[in-house]
Amino acid sequence: MKQPQGIKAKKKKNQTTNIFGETIGRLHLERQDIDNRSGKKSKALRLAEKIEKAEESAAIESELGREQEEMTDEFKQAYGFAPDM
């Protein structure tokens, strides 16, 4: 005998029922590349980056100043006078 298609329950894929009657499902997702994801940075992180850049530029400026003084001292020692800069 023919029976209507709606009577027979359709099997749901990736779903099982455990011994307690709970339905357990399995999700299949592609691997996410979190390195290329960008999100909103918190204010603290932005402030920390700003402070870090300021400290780095201050360190570079002090290094350049020290090198300038060394070169001036060498020039003065070699030629007897300091150059105008």
For the segment 35-71, what is each residue's pLDDT rounded down to a tens digit?
A: 777 777 788 888 888 999 999 999 999 999 999 999 9
Would the pLDDT of 19 be above 80?
A: yes
Distance from chain centroid for Cα 65: 34
Phi, psi at residue 34, to the nearest 5°? Answer: -80, -15
- Determine the Cα–Cα distance for residues 76 and 85; give it in Å rounded to an integer: 13
- Determine the Cα–Cα distance for residues 72 and 81; give it in Å rounded to an integer: 9
* pLDDT on residue 40: 75
